[in-house]
Amino acid sequence: MIAKLACTCAFAFAASVAMAQESDTIEEMASSEEVSKVAETLSKIGCTATAVEKESDDLFEIDDATCQIGQYDIKLNGDYKIIVMSIDE
């Protein structure tokens, strides 16, 4: 009986830890105003984005941006300036 209770408690604890970790990794999507500003910056270098993630108040991430020179992952700071651009092969 004690072993069954311990197993149930362990399972419940593991499930709650997994859910907490999952919620920590969910990123917020940028607002329409932020997306517009990101799109303006990206257009200057011939790129477009289908989705803009907001990693923090001063960091935006675009996975799989389509650019005239290929496909890239791009990060912009809170001033909408590109700080990282890496080829996405």
Phi then psi dihedrals of residue 77, to 5 deg: -85, -175
- Of 10 and 87, the structure prediction assigns the larger pLDDT to 87
pLDDT of residue 27: 74
Compute, in degrees rounded to 10, the torsion defined by CA atoms 49, 54, 58, 60: -20
Residue 4 scores a pLDDT above 70: no
pLDDT tens, position by position, 20-67: 444 454 579 999 999 999 999 999 999 999 999 999 999 999 999 999
List the Cα angle 32/33/35 in 5-degree steps.
60
Residue 16 scores a pLDDT above 90: no
What kind and span of H or E run contains 5? helix 2-25
Instruction: Give the integer Cα–Cα distance in Å for 27 and 8.
Output: 31
Chain-centre distance for alpha carbon 16: 23
